[in-house]
Amino acid sequence: MLSVIGVVVVFSVVILAHELGHFLMARYMGVKVERFALGLGKVLLSKRIGDTEYVICLIPFGGYIKMAGDEPTGKPSSNRQEFFGQPPGRRFWIIFAGAAVNYIFAFLIFSFIVPTSRIGMVIKDMPAYKSGIETGDRIVAINDKEIKYWYQVLDFVSEDYDARPLKMMVDRGGVTFEATITPDILELKGLFGREIKKPKIGISYFGDVEVLKGGPVKHLTAGARQIFANTILTYKFIWYLVTGKIALKGAAAGPIGIAVILGKAIKVGFVYLVYLVAHINLALAIFNLLPFPILDGGHIFFLGIEKIRKRPLSIKVQGVVQYIAITLIIAFFLLVTWNDISLWILKR
């Protein structure tokens, strides 16, 4: 029961952050917000404050804001209190603000919670594997410098472009031993064909996290590192998914899968749960900004077309595109939900 409550709270917080971004920016732009809803379906609680009705609905997974004049009519509006009475540039900021708040939320969490130096996957035949490193080991020092966090491990490895040996002190079940690891240097092609050297030793982090200790600069640096690295990983994941390099089944989780993962995270501990919330916020921000109709990114794409054409697409064209998009989204939702059921429920 506690897990169920925790999942509902997490989803509510993430959605609340997103809709709050839209709400605050709309109000800042002078657009009237008629309703701020947390949840979907039947209204359970309602309170009007000023021009806005604040409601809590029956289904906890969702939310929305209803702005004045946010339904396209195909005719220009001169009322600046209406969404479509605003020029495209100001409408962009209202749409973008939801994802921006999720992104900021994730950054703040990443600034205070970081992965430890415990090792997760060890890739066979890579330098770490050859040196005897195993999953669950924890790196406590590199080249006589104390190590506590995973980003410190990455710093030492990424700086070693000449493949110099790294002297690592490793803790395995309370017993400390020394391992000397010389990174492999992988030569890759970057943007515009630029050659990039990437030192690799073949390990990933375990998943343990803890609260980062240090001053503001250390916290902000940690947040920037994690938000950048996880953003790149998410875009790579999307690209590999689209190009078929990875299969959808087992790679993407739907609502059921996320709920199961959150339920397990609640049992692990509060700090790990908060860290997972950061990842959910980041994923929501990135996926919601994809240029796909019905998502915020799709609305921004339509705004770009309107800006170029000096007029919006016709209501008919927008309707057809939205209908196709909704069909595809429903199909995708059903597919990932079935994958979740087969992975998390039927295999039990």
314 exposure class (CB count in 10 Å sphere: 0-12, 13-18, 19+): exposed
**Tens digits of per-residue pLDDT, 266-291?**
777 888 889 989 999 999 999 899 88
| pLDDT at residue 348 in the model | 56
| pLDDT at residue 112 in the model | 95
Considering the entire predicted model, what is its pTM?
0.83
Tokens of 241: 């998914």
pLDDT at residue 304 above 70?
Answer: yes
Half-sphere exposure of 257 (CA within 13 A, CB side): 19
pLDDT at residue 192 above 80?
Answer: no
Could you tell me the domains of the chain?
A: 2-112+258-345 (no CATH), 117-206 (2.30.42.10)
Token pair 């020092």 is found at: 141
| pLDDT at residue 194 in the model | 65
**Tens digits of per-residue pLDDT, 15-47?**
999 999 999 999 999 999 999 999 888 999 999
Residue 67 pairs in a beta bridge with 33
| Average of per-residue pLDDT across 120-136 | 92
**Tens digits of per-residue pLDDT, 48-78?**
999 999 999 988 878 899 999 988 776 777 8
| pLDDT at residue 75 in the model | 74
What percent of the chain stands above pLDDT 90? 48
pLDDT at residue 173 above 60?
Answer: yes
| CB environment 200-238: b (16+ within 10 A), e (fewer) | ebbbebbebbbebeeeeeebeebbebbbeebeeebeebe
Q: Single out the residue of 164, 181, 173 nearest to residue 122, CA to CA.
A: 181
> Measured over all CA atoms, what is the biggest interatomic distance in the chain, rounded to whole angstroms?
73
Token pair 């199961």 is found at: 260
CB 264 within 8 A of CB 253: no
